[in-house]
Each structure stands twice: as C-alpha cells, then as structure tokens.
Structure 1
Amino acid sequence: MKKLLVGTILAGVVAIGAACSNSTSHSSMQGHDMSNMNMKEENTAKDSSKQLPLATNTKVLSGKEFYLTAKEALLQINDKVKLPVYTYNGSVPGPQIRVKQGDRVIIHFKNDLPEPTTIHWHGYPVPNSQDGVPGVTMNAIKPGETFTYEFTATVPGTYWYHSHQESAKQMDKGLYGTLIVEPKNEEKVDRDYTLVLDEWMSNPNAESNMDMSNMDHSNMGHGNSPDDQHMDMSSMDHDMNMYDIFTINGKNGSAIEPLKVKKGEKVRLRLVNAGYMSHKLHLHGHEFKIVATDGQPLKDPQPIKDELLNIAPGERYDIEFTADNPGEWLLECHGDMKGTDGMKVKIQYEGATNNTDKSNAKEDLPIVDMTKYGKHESGPFTLDQKYDVEYTMDLGTAMGKDGMIYTINGKTYPETTPINVKTGDLAKVTLVNHSPKDVHPMHLHGHFFQVLSKNGKPIAGSPLMKDTLNVKPGEEYVVAFKADNPGNWMFHCHDLHHASAGMVTEVKYKDYKSNYTPDPNDTTNKGE
C-alpha cells in the first residue's frame, strides 16, 4: 500500500522503553455495538451539539463522546482507481472530531483491523497515558479489542489523529483523521473547510517486489520543486515516482469536492499534511492570511498573494481569505511530480459563471518565509535567557548493516540519549540537519515549542509556536519549550520511515513515574 516504507526495517526496530500507562483499561464495551458505525451516523455521539453553521467538506462528529472503529475498506480515489485501505469509521480521512475548548473528550475505540493499532493525538497536549504510543504509553490494541481515550480539550486549534503502531505502514494505508478544538471566544467565519493532503500508489502491488532491506533512502526528497523533491533513483530499489496520486481528503483530481463560497464571506481553510512529502500550495485569485500554524495563532498576520505555502509532513496551517473575487478559482499544489496535477481543489462562488481559473502548477512563485511572517514581538522564550536543560540534536544519515539508518547524535533509537527534564524546567534544543539530502520534519509529542532562530538569525516575525518543524539539509534551528506535561514523550522525525530506522529520542521527566511497564516479550508493540 502506498509508501509502505517500513518493510524489513521495522522488523529490526527494538521495542520502545518504559513510560506511562493509560488509566482506562481495555474494556468489553458492552452495550455499544460499534461494528456498524459509519460516518453518516454523526448524531450517535452523546451530548452531541447542534449542526455546525459552518460549511465543511469532511464528515464531522461533534459533541463530547465519540465512537471510532478502525476497519478495512476500499477507497475510490478517482473514477479509475480504487484501493484497499485502513479507515476510521469506513472512510479516509476518518471523521473529524470537533469539540469546544474546555470539553472533556471521550473516544471509544474499537480495532476491527487484522493487526494491532493505536490512536495518537498529533500535536495535542494530552496526558501521557493517552498519547497512544505502543511500548511507551500503552500496549497496542489487538484485533477485536477496545480502548477508551479520554482528555480535556484545553488548547484550541487544528490537530489530527493517526495510528502510532507501525505508523509508516498504517498511516500510509489511510489511518488518520482530524481533531478541531474551537476556542471559547472565536471570531466566526462563514465557511470552515478542512483539507487533508496525502500521496498514494496507483499500483499498490508494486511494493511487494521491493527489497526494503537494501533500500537507500538517502535520496528521498520531501518537497514539490526540483531543488528538494527530485531524487537520484540509481542507488534505490524503490522509485518514489510510484507515488503518483496526490489526494485531498482521500480524493484526486475532479473527484475532489469543490469548496463553495458566496461573495463577501470570510473563509477559513485548515490544511493538514498527513502524507510523506511536503506540498507547496497556491491560492489563486485572492489575498490570504496565515492565521495559525500547528494550531497556534500568529500575531497580526499580513495579507499575502501569489506566494506558496509549504506544508511538511505532520504540519498544519490555517489560512483565511475574503471571498471578494467571484468566479471559479483553484487551490493547487505546485511542482513537477507525477501526482502534482491531481492535488487541486476548486473554489466555486455560488451563482457565478465567469472567471474560470486555469491551472499553472509550474509557475515560479516565492515561498512564504514563516520566520519573517506576522508582527514581531517577544514570545514566552528568548535566545539569551537561562535554560535548565540544553540539548543539541544532530540529525544524520548512515549506512547500517541492514541498510540506511537515521541517527540523532550518531545513534539510533533506543540508544539515543534522551532529553532529561523535570517538571517546570525550561529546555532549549538545537536541531541541526547534517543529512546530505534528507529533510527531517521533527515532531515533539505532548508539548509546543517556540522557534527562536534559523541558521543563527533570530525569528523576525510573529512568535512561532509549533509541534512539528521541517529541517532541511544544512539548516539549524533553535527551539525552546517548558516541561509542563509530565511523562515520557517521543521526539522524532515525522518522515516515519526515518523514525522506524532510528531517528527517535524521548523527552523524559525525571520526576515522573509511570504506571505502565512494557512487556519485553510482547512483540506486538511497535510504536514507530
């Protein structure tokens, strides 16, 4: 399926070290028959809120209590391609979970897949026991078993959920959805659309002929332009051009549902990259503002037009625009990969028939520089303040005995040195990418960090709070965070085959004691 880049790499990954438990045990869920749940049954959630007045092109489960079932299905990507996939409630993406800030969120989850799985709440500061990493915070949920996740929606914004069990495989098969937490006092918009980006193979059987153990991943790119996406395939058994279908919300090309707007409306687009590659998006015909990244608001974002927004794996961007140019326009991916042309969605003004837009995916446009975007002001951290913990993360690539490995400070997980903190500590981390060609979107579980500098230059725009940061070859970033969520947390590359091949460390709280002890003999726990 799709990228399935783990293969024999995952077979050599060691079970992950100790961390915390989920206080909610696997249960029989008696009285709740979830086997027939699907996305049309939105009103079965207890305490379900009234139908949202906002437009959405994804199925929404709203309220405080939810039911998700992981199961196999067929996904009709376009009029020619139908693929076997893994789903939540029968669709890709899974249903959007939409709650209010302050809600207590309860998710009853059933695994109807033929293999173990979990749910990780990407970017969300859940209690450590709810983080969904097998071997770190819980045991994998086996076929036929159920599990209840529970947390309070404390921080508003755009987030997502996905498997963290053999995640490079299971996410590639479609096991992801979105989590939206609405602020208590939010400036309302007229339309609110969520767009989830991904890539697929039109020939999913091709991966069965790949020798993954000898695969050289060092030339795999992660952008949609010649400088960071084209790769030399001569040293690889696996041609990344097999990923020839790019999708938005599980659909490709003309199968993607248009976004309807009316003149004068304020429109929000929530952009989520659940895939393997970075995607550069261009909004035609309108000025827009980037109002948030990774769920966190930006200070006084300025209007921009005809600039590309680069979205790396795991990242989210919220943009807003005013529908002030009637006609039919595009939001499209730029680049020259085979699948690029299919990643575009129409923006259709109701009642308008003129100004039909033309695709121009190869147009040379600048990329928005997020280090200079928005109004500059002091954030919670500065470069020159005192920190309790400082850590340098040297991101590298090497040849191991079974193929390429991806290292932090020359070691692979679980031999990497953790970032040891205690509750209340301020931590500063320097991320340096010494990989010759690989891009590393680094993701920290359970915390937000502030980006302080890039290549030695302080951030000149809005304070930049993130949970996933794309680090290109040769780049150096300094980030800082407060140890305010006790537990043991993954800090890893969200190019998940890099994580599977070693690029993982942990933030470990010295004053935290887990109730969960992984069983060293349980081979079902594969947290990457």
Structure 2
Amino acid sequence: MITLSRRGFLAASAATAASLMLASRARAQSARISLTATTRTLDVRGRAATVWGLMDGNGRSGLVLDPGQAFAVDLTNTLVEPTIIHWHGQIPPNAQDGVPDMPMTTLQPGESRAYDFAARPGTHWMHAHIPAHEMLLLAAPLIVRRPEDVAADRQDVTLFLHDFSFKPPAEVLAEITGGASMAGMDHGQMAQGGMDHSGMNMGAVGQGDMMSMPGMDGMAMDLNDYNFDAYLANDRTLDYPEVVQVDKGSKVLVRVINAAAATVFWIDTGALTGRLVAVDGEPVQPLPGSRFGIAMGQRLDIELDVPAEGGAFPVLALREGARERTGLVLATPGATVTKVADMSDADHPAFSADLTQEAVLRAVTPLPERAASSQPMLMLGGSMMPYVWTINGQTWGKHSPVTAKTGERVEIMFHNMSMMAHPMHLHGHAFQVVGVGQTRIAGAVRDTVHVPPMGMVTVAVDAGEAARWMLHCHHMPHLSTGMMTEFAVSA
C-alpha cells in the first residue's frame, strides 16, 4: 500500500472541492443569493485545466438552501460567451427554466438575471443547457435540505461526478458525431436521420437478454462512445481525491450527482453498509446494497454507517463497461489513507443493460392513483453511423410534441429501439415510474429515467404549467444531434 500524499493542488480547485461537503448545521444565507458563471482552474493529473463553473458569492461551487428557503438567485454571466442555466430537478415558472429561447434568450456576457421560485427539496443540480458548455463543466450541485436533514444526526457529503477532456468540447463532439453535432450556442435545427426500428417485436425479450443481444448490424449494445481523459469526483481524480473527515460510529449521507456528459457509473460503497434512500431528490423505500447504478442527470442519496472502530473508506464511481474509476475517501480522525488506483483490475459490468434496480425502487410518496388521459409511446432510435439520435424518428426542430392539458395525467412509454441506453429527462415536472417492460409497478418518483437498449419504461406525469417543456436524452452527444422533443401543456 502507498500512503496517499496530502499534497494540495491549485488553490481554486481546493476551495471548490471543499465547498462540496455540506455542513451538518444550517448555512446562513442572505435573502438573495449571488451566483456567477465564471472560469476556474483545475489540476487534472498534474496539468492545469481551465474550465467553467457556477460559484456563489463566497467563491464556492454550487448552492445549498435551507428548509423553506426560497430560490432567490441573481445569476451573472462573466464568461466570454452567452449561456443559460437549467435548474435540474427544480420546477420553476417556465420562463425561468433555462433553455435557450424557450422562452428566454441566453444570458449575454456581463448580463445578470433574477430567478425567484419555491425550491423543491432534495439533491438536485444546475447546468448549462448547451451541450458544449456543460462539457466545459458549467455545472454545480443544488442541494435543498429538508427539515429532517437538519434534524438527522448524520453528516452530508456531496459526490459530484464529471467526465473530462483536455480537448475543447466542440472537438470532442465532432469526434463522437463525425461532424453531425450542433456544438454551437443553441439547440438549433438538427439534421434528421437515424434508424427506424419501430417494426421490431420486443415482447419476448427479457431484460437479462440485453447484454448478449446483437444490434441491427450484428453489433452488441454500445455502452461508451468516447474515452475521456479523466473522470472527476468533486473536481479531482483518484491521484489526489478529496478526503472527507467523518466520525467513528456515525451516519453519512452521500449525495451523488452524475453531471457527466456521456458516462454511466456504478457507485460502490465498498466496506460500508449502504442504503439507497432517495433518487432524483425524492425519497424511496430504503434499498440496501453496496453498488448502485446512476445515469447522466440522475441523483442518488446513499446513507452509510461508519463503523465504531473507524478507518478510511473509499466511495467510488466505476465507469460502466470499462476499468476507469473515481471517487472520494471517508476517513475517521487518525486513519491511514492509502492510495486507490484509478483503474480496476477488470471491466465493470453494464448498468445500462437492464432495469433490475429500477424495478425494485418504490416511492415513499407516490403519485395519487388516477386514470391517464393519454398514453403516448415515444420510440427512441438512432445509429452510430451516421451519428443521429431520434424520438419517433424525428430530431429537434422536426419533432412532434407530446401534448396534454394542465392537470391531466399522462403516461409516457419510452420504447428504446436503439443499441444505446438513454437517460430521459423531463423539465418542469416530476414523474413516477409505473412500468418496467410489461410489468406495472409503483416505482420511484424521478425526473430522469434510464431506458436500456431494447427496453421499455413507462412513467406517469401530471401536467403542470401551460407551457413548452423540454423532454430529452441527457447524453450530451445524443442531445446535440437532435434527441429532444417537448411536453407541450395547454391551459
């Protein structure tokens, strides 16, 4: 074993990483909160990297709101490019949702904009709704604490995950898409194309068959379509991970946020006993385990028990279908912290292959039972060559909206006929997973659900504000080539 050096890296990064651990006591904040889109510098494997970020008035990454505190934020853009921020997991007025030109224009360099709405409790995050900007790490945690979080005798720790490339995002997107990507300043008018697999009958296919199932061209399911230079946890690699001091015999709530552009992870709690207690900010019936999957845009709250004898305990994020890993270390006072390699001995299994985890999650507060007014099916399709991803065979700009009236219950079935999984995110709403394959369940309440290759997931949603709400895949290269439609709600 090699003893891990405590050598710090760049001061800006250290301040950022330290801010990601939430204090157990309430954080005093002024009536209005300042948030700045700005540049910052990280040390990634000994190389300085200039990235973007969202910093509060004290130079900390992200925001933590106390129970009942309003989301009263003044956002200022100090970047050289226009951008716009989406409050992922929140339900703001549509005008404040943060999608380019739907309906607000991007925030110009030097411009400030005020946001005011009731904050939705839970583990959420905020990020640019422009794929290239999100890939520049223009994202941060957005934690809204519940009264029970304040009352609980446990420590809060945030694990914020990124995939990172030293190359500019436009170059990365061009390599992935073969030039098909719209890596510019807005979602724009995407090229139409891709494969239509809607004629296939998937009724006889079980979830366990997916890993071995060949694709339309004889190829197996594709888990990763880009090898990033590094995988970051709280802005660090395992070369010098964040070491969080915890007490012997204590409880720790690890709030995991997958802010990666195109990487699905397993969260491995190692020697610590774990319970998954919330997904996407919404409590679930505790699910015991030491390994939980998380797709892009999703969040997991995992409660851990630190043993009375103490020690050092890595909490790792394992890249699915590959050997790379990242994470942080929970350590009690005086514990010896040893270096953790950033590569496992063998490839990690696929999380995207099936719906086993989703099928056993149960909401603590499910949606009320009621009949659906409509049950639209969205066929998720696409291909690697040409690299184009579609919903019902259409790309953004040529899409057909899902429609509803305010207050109506709609059940949306996502039917994935492609060989890649798709984390589907709906803006402005929370939905409940009510179907996995052909099986009805009273599943988790979420805002982002991962749909496996050749799999089906059905969600129930009660239509909210009359407006156009984005519904899209949270895999950034898929989004950038058109995998987006809208949930168009009328009065």
Do the two structures share a fold, i.e. TM-score over 0.5? Answer: yes
Using the TM superposition, give the Cα deviation of residue 189 of structure 1 relative to its aligned residue in structure 2, in angstroms. Answer: 3.6
**8 Å CA contact 2:243, 2:328 repeated in 1:** yes
How well do the aligned residues superpose, as a CA RMSD in angstroms? 3.7
Kept in 2, the 8 Å contact 1:70–1:111? The answer is yes
Match of 2:43 in 1: 76
Higher relative contact order (CA 8 A, sep 6+): 1
Count of residue pairs brought into register by the alignment? 434
Aligned twin of 1:380? 367
Secondary structure in structure 2 of the residue aligned to 1:389: coil
Shift of 1:128: 0.8
**Offset from partner CA, 1:202-225 (integer Å, 9 cap, x none):** 455993895676358999xxxxxx
Aligned twin of 1:412 = 395
2 CA distance for matches of 1:144 and 1:430? 42
Q: Tell me, which stretches of 5 or more residues in structure 2 are unaligned? A: 1-11, 182-193, 196-209
Task: Describe the shift of the 1:204–1:386 C-alpha distance in structure 2 as closer, same or farther (beyond 3 A).
Answer: closer
8 Å CA contact 1:38–1:89 kept in 2: the answer is: no
Alignment partner of 1:265 is 2:250: yes
> How far has the Cα of 1:304 moved from its partner?
2.2
Match runs of 1:482-501 below 5 Å: 482-501=462-481
Show the counterpart of 2:178. 214
2:34 to 31, 47, 67: 67
Counterpart amino acid of 1:327?
Answer: G
2:141 pairs with one of 169, 178, 182:
178
**TM-fit CA distance, 1:452:** 0.8
Query: Compared with structure 1, are the counterparts of its residues 498 and 263 closer, same or farther at alpha carbon in structure 2 (3 Å cutoff)?
Result: same
Aligned: 1:104 with 2:74: no
Superposed, 1:285-304 pairs within 5 Å as: 285-299=271-285, 301-304=286-289
For 1:334, give the aligned amino acid. Answer: L
Letter in 2 for 1:172: M
**Counterpart mapping for 1:21-60 below 5 A:** 53-54=23-24
Give distance in 1, aligned partners of 2:68 and 2:166: 42
Structure 1 length normalisation: TM-score? Answer: 0.73
Change (3 A) 1:356 1:273: closer
Residue by residue over 1:144-180, the C-alpha shift from the partner in whole angstroms, topping out at 9 and shown as x without a partner, is: 2111111112x3100000111xx21001101001111
| 8 Å Cα contact 1:335-1:362 kept in structure 2 | no
Aligned match of 1:120: 86
Unaligned runs of 5+ in 1: 1-36, 42-50, 220-225, 512-528
1:427 corresponds to: 410
Equivalent residue letter for 1:487:
A
Instruction: Report the identity percentage.
Output: 28
Output the CA distance in 2 between the equivalents of 1:284 and 1:417.
45
Tell me the residue number matched to 2:112: 146
**Partner in structure 2 of residue 450 of structure 1:** 432
3-state SS of paired residue (1:95)? coil
Letter of the 1:113 partner, please give it: L
- Secondary structure of 2:239's counterpart equals helix
Tell me which of 115, 121, 124 is aligned to 1:156. Answer: 121
Of residues 450, 454, 462 in structure 2, which corresponds to 1:470? Answer: 450
Is the Cα contact below 8 Å between 1:449 and 1:480 reproduced in 2? yes
How far apart, in 2, do the equivalents of 1:377 and 1:81 lie? 45
Change (3 A) 1:106 1:38: farther
Cα gap change, 1:53 to 1:413, in 2 (>3 Å): closer
Structure 1 residue aligned with 2:164: 200
CA distance in 2, matches of 1:211, 1:258: 35
Aligned to 1:136: 102
What is the CA–CA distance in structure 2 between the aligned matches of 1:492 and 1:209, rounded to whole Å?
17
The Cα shift of 1:386 comes to: 2.2
The offset of 1:263, in angstroms, is 1.2
Give the deviation of 1:433 after TM superposition: 0.6
Once structures 1 and 2 are overlaid, which stretch shifts more, 116-125 or 407-416?
A: 407-416
- The DSSP-based 3-state class of the residue aligned with 2:147 is coil
1:351 aligns with 2:321: no
Q: One-letter code of the match for 1:445?
A: H
TM-aligned CA deviation for residue 102 of structure 1: 2.6
Distance in 2, Cα, partners of 1:72 & 1:355: 32
Q: Secondary structure at the match of 2:387?
A: strand
Q: Match of 2:423? A: 441
The yes-or-no answer on 1:333 pairing with 2:313 is no
Q: Structure 1, residues 185-239: CA drift from partner, whole Å, max 9, x if none?
A: 44414311011111112455993895676358999xxxxxx959xx99x9xxxx9
CA gap 1:67/1:140 in 2 versus in 1, 3 angstroms: same
Tell me: CA distance 1:127–1:362, structure 2 relative to 1, closer, same or farther (3 Å): farther
For residues 510 and 485 of structure 1, do their structure 2 counterparts lie closer, same or farther at Cα, with a shift above 3 Å needed? closer
**2:204 alignment counterpart:** none
Residues 208 and 70 of structure 1: is their aligned pair in 2 closer, same or farther, counting only changes over 3 Å? same
The SS at the match of 2:253 is strand
Give distance in 2, aligned partners of 1:185 and 1:213.
45
Amino acid paired to 1:85: V
Partners of 1:55 and 1:191 within 8 A in 2: no
In structure 2, distance between residues paired with 1:64 and 1:196: 26
In structure 2, distance between residues paired with 1:399 and 1:209: 13
Matched residues in 2 for 1:333 and 1:420: separation? 38
TM-score (norm 2): 0.78
Q: Distance in 2 between matches of 1:103 and 1:120?
A: 19
Alpha-carbon offset, residue 337 of structure 1: 7.0
Query: Contact conserved, 1:281 with 1:333, CA < 8 A, in 2?
Result: yes
